[in-house]
Amino acid sequence: MKVTLIAHTPNPEQVVAAAARLCYSDSHIDTLLEGMTPEKSRDFVRKLAAMGHESPTEHVSFTFGIEGVSRSLLAQITRHRIASYSVQSQRYVRLDQFEYVTPTEVEQDEEGAEAFRQAMEQAGEEYRRIAALLKDGHIRRLTAQGMDEKTAARQAEKLAIEDARFVLPNACTTKMIVTMNARSLANFFRHRCCNRAQWEIRALAEEMLRLVSQVAPALFENCGPACYKGPCPEGRMTCGKAAEMREKYAALHREAEEWES
């Protein structure tokens, strides 16, 4: 997995503070940023958090480049609907030698790991075989309809991999660009940093939180699993490790502040 923060709203804490300031004062738009130093902006952001006023945080967004994650993760992350996603297409990108994610528990089991590797190889073989068969069939059909061979081959390739992709496994890796505003990110972290979240998306959420905390520490200092700043909401399904999780995310935020300074 590789996660990169490739863009974000400039001066995110200042933007959030300015938006909130407008709500509570008679300031004009052209004077909102007057005297809004980084220190004052952070104080304002912290006051907003204490008040539970979250809507101003929707004015700043963060864009991530994510690669080396599974299609299984893709199915999970896109359930967070207040976000924008651009994903490498299996319709247009041929994956003859696809890479895949191996779960840690599988890696640690010698026989399971070997069986998993064989399953991935077999899926790749079937993908290539089906794509070749479909492509040949499409070329014959398209040329019979009067299309020139070069154009027929190009269209047949797309049609073939569009259907052959159905045999590719959830473990197959993908790449994506994801953009979320800060409020959506806080919600994402609350659910996906939880110890009960699936391991791969939990690792992604933790790295995303680490990256945004380095550029806007006050804005995200309360972010993490729900138990980080409150009681565990999982009831009888709790992992029972709230104290450990609080320390873990407190350390993450301390590191972010040290990184910035």
Give catalytic status of residue 192 as yes or no.
yes
Distance set, CA 117 to CA 42, 61, 123, 182, 200 (Å): 50, 39, 10, 39, 19
Q: What are phi and psi of 3, to 5 degrees?
A: -125, 130
DSSP 179: E
User: Of 147, 157, 234, whose CA–CA distance to 197 is shortest?
Assistant: 234
Q: CA 217, 197, 249 angle in degrees (round to 5)?
A: 30
Q: What are phi and psi of 144, to 5 degrees?
A: -65, -25
Q: Do the Cβ atoms of 242 and 232 come closer than 8 Å?
A: yes
Q: Do the Cβ atoms of 167 and 130 come closer than 8 Å?
A: yes
Which of 21, 165, 190, 192 is flagged as catalytic?
A: 192
Would you name the residues annotated as active-site residues? 192
